[in-house]
Amino acid sequence: MRSAPHRPVGPDYTGWLPGVDDLCYGGDYNPEQWPEEVWEQDVTLMREAGVNLVSVGIFSWALLEPREGELDLGWLDRLLDLLHGHGIKVDLGTPTASPPAWFFHTYPDARVVTRDGTVLGFGSRGMASPSHPAYREAAVRITTALAERYGDHPAVVLWHVHNEYGAPVSEDYSPASATAFRRWLRERHGSLDALNAAWGTRFWGQVYGEWEHVGVPAAAPSIVNPAQRLDFARFTDDALLACFVAERDAIRAHSDRPVTTNFMAAACPATDLWKWGREVDIVSNDHYLTAADPRNQVGLALAADLTRSVAGGKPWMLLEHSTSGVNWQERNVAKRPGEMARNALSHLGRGADAIMFFQWRASRSGAEKFHSAMLPHAGTSSRVWREVVELGETLRGVREVRGARVHADVAILWDQESFWAQDLEWRPSVDARHRERVDAFYDRLWRDGLTTDFAHPEQDLSPYRLVVAPASYLLTADAAANLTRYVESGGTLLVSFFSAVVDEHDAVHPGGFLGPLRRALGVAVEEFLPLRAGETLGVRFEAAPGTDGAGRVDTPGTGAVVRGDVWADDLALEGADVVGRFVGGPADGAPAVTRHRLGAGTGWYVSTRLDVDALATLLAPVYDDAGLAPSGLATDVEVVRRHADDAQYVVALNHSDAEQKVPDLPDGTVDLVSGDRVVGAATIPPAGFRVLRSPAR
Ligand code: GAL
């Protein structure tokens, strides 16, 4: 079984950033884009806004090493000293996400090649081939130079390696990548026979007789072997991670400050964050709202909960979000008054002890000039600036929250390998999308006010009352055994359709679909029955058996008929009770939702796609089994709690335009920002927030 998700291999930085006894507030600071006179004004305004940490140098390679091997660090010396003089700490970047022009000129074969053979050029930003020896060497060289020079600089409290590994490109089909892929395959599979077996190469006559004949899964006449593509996704992730580890170790040779790299939890398909979380000293994340989604606070919460889970529950850092609109979506919607603070506090409530932005001062030139900033083009007379200053004050007011932990009774399974596999071509239905199911179940839990962790299917699940598997297409035998044990020992497991279909080689499980979960769920899938586009069916909920097994009792939702679409299964019962039956569709009258008692727990299976409203009907009896209940708060109210030994902190956000209430607060509750006592219920102003301290429960 996997150990705790977050286990840094270096020094244990549970004590937060060295010498920092505060929540962190600030952003990416790119002063090299401005004349040095502006820097003085920057630091003065940073003090005014309450900024205490900035990320520096992330895209500065071309300035730091203008010609190969020639360093120019003078400007960075001056900058770090200036920041230090004003008491502003530094998260120092390694600039390896954007190699200089000379690099690509000297090493043209280190350019990334896309799947269709396009060689990516210079003039933007982005990775060189992560597997090219010249890139690795140059990256470690500039990182070492920075670590030697600034490893014990008093301003530097954190190292920021690279930027968002996996973006804007991750997979590389260059010759350097092909060589590295073969090396990786030899290590993973040991022999060509093992590789041929794992990839099922007898199908379509793909059997390999020589290692040299094995290639990257570039574009081919028809779809490429899915197991090969899955291995290539794993290899790509490992290649990126190896780049991080090489830089991290180069830093550690000269500096005892913690090392992070900014993740894009839930937004970067290339990285398996469970692995990455074990390699960083402090987990950090970037998050940007999806402007097109009017309820994008839910996606934000999902990303924050995933980041906290990757951090093993430890406090983490939000290294980037935006003060208002971004510049790279189709319609870059500006944040409305109060929205930035609610976004920041949702991250805080979900475990972030640093609230940072991209970026400090808006850029006049280049690709991101229309991106919002802490100091916008409109300057300090703007609403955004006033809200930035206010947020700084708020964070000072709530600083005692730092270090407090979030507790969750529910976990959603998240396994990047399964998502990689499910995303490949020629699946039973293009409408069965893993992310859509994760989002829908998460949204239901969010609306029900149940704080949710994410968990790897092989990790210890015993802390959770309820585990939801919305999209576990690839489920290893070990993971299935783990889930079965979880049920037997009293857990409630809810599995959604198209789960436990294949093993780690994308080969269908012996025993058929759902094979290794049949014991836990008491049901088998005989055949998938995907629906046509737009086709719907009904699910009628029936009375479920009493929990003591005697007689049938009315469970919540009995008699309700809800609508499903996308999918149905032809199910064979193997001990489970039928809780819902199809009305119409290809399996009319047959089981749609089942419930199975195993040992001390219960395994539920749902074989169609229910939307977030219909999920309420499904989840009512599931919550019953798990001993959970929805919070009963208004849908637009978000409440999250952090727990310390002697206090619990309640972060309450009102996403509506009407005043809302958080009831039933214990005696002794205090508003951390105003200092006022709160008796019974707290009102939250329209579009506003409250951060409260209550006695520990
Ligand atoms: C992030 C990136 C930043 C900036 C930002 C804009 O993905 O790390 O450098 O480009 O997006 O939203």
Ligand 1 atom nearest the C-alpha of 326 is: 12
Q: What is the mean predicted confidence (pLDDT) over 460-466? A: 98
3-class SS of residue 432? coil
- Residue 4's pLDDT band (boundaries 50, 70, 90)? very low
Residue nearest to atom 5 of ligand 1 (CA): 358
pLDDT at 544: 60
Find the angle CA(351)-CA(353)-CA(356) to the nearest 5 degrees: 115
Q: What is the mean predicted confidence (pLDDT) over 209-214? A: 98
pLDDT at 555: 61
User: For residues 465 and 492, is the Cβ–Cβ distance under 8 A?
Assistant: yes
381 pLDDT above the threshold of 50? yes
Which tens digits make up the pLDDT trace of 591-621?
A: 999 999 999 999 999 999 999 999 999 999 9
- Residue 547's pLDDT band (boundaries 50, 70, 90)? very low
Distance CA 368, CA 321 (A): 14
pLDDT at 127: 80
Establish whether 425 is a catalytic residue.
no
Nearest to 604 by CA among 474, 450, 441: 441
Nearest to 344 by CA among 273, 284, 394, 400: 394
- Residue 500's pLDDT band (boundaries 50, 70, 90)? very high
297 pLDDT above the threshold of 70? yes
pLDDT at 559: 85
The alpha carbon of 356 and the centre of ligand 1 are apart by a number of angstroms equal to 12
- Residue 328's pLDDT band (boundaries 50, 70, 90)? very high
Task: Sort strands 577-583 and 591-598 into parallel, antiparallel or unpaired.
Answer: antiparallel
Which tens digits make up the pLDDT trace of 221-262?
A: 999 999 999 999 999 999 999 999 999 999 999 999 999 999
Find the angle CA(128)-CA(308)-CA(668) to the nearest 5 degrees: 150
Which tens digits make up the pLDDT trace of 181-191?
A: 999 999 999 99
pLDDT at 557: 73
Q: What percent of the chain has pLDDT over 90?
A: 94
- Residue 176's pLDDT band (boundaries 50, 70, 90)? very high
Residues lining ligand 1, Cβ inside 6 A:
163-164, 286, 288, 320, 326, 358, 368, 371
549 pLDDT above the threshold of 50? no
Distance CA 402, CA 420 (A): 35
The alpha carbon of 287 and the centre of ligand 1 are apart by a number of angstroms equal to 9
550 pLDDT above the threshold of 50? no
Establish whether 320 is a catalytic residue.
yes
Residue with the two structure tokens 């200092």: 675
The alpha carbon of 124 and the centre of ligand 1 are apart by a number of angstroms equal to 13
pLDDT at 15: 66
- Residue 548's pLDDT band (boundaries 50, 70, 90)? very low
Structural domains for the chain: 24-171+236-402 (3.20.20.80), 410-626 (3.40.50.880), 637-695 (2.60.40.1180)
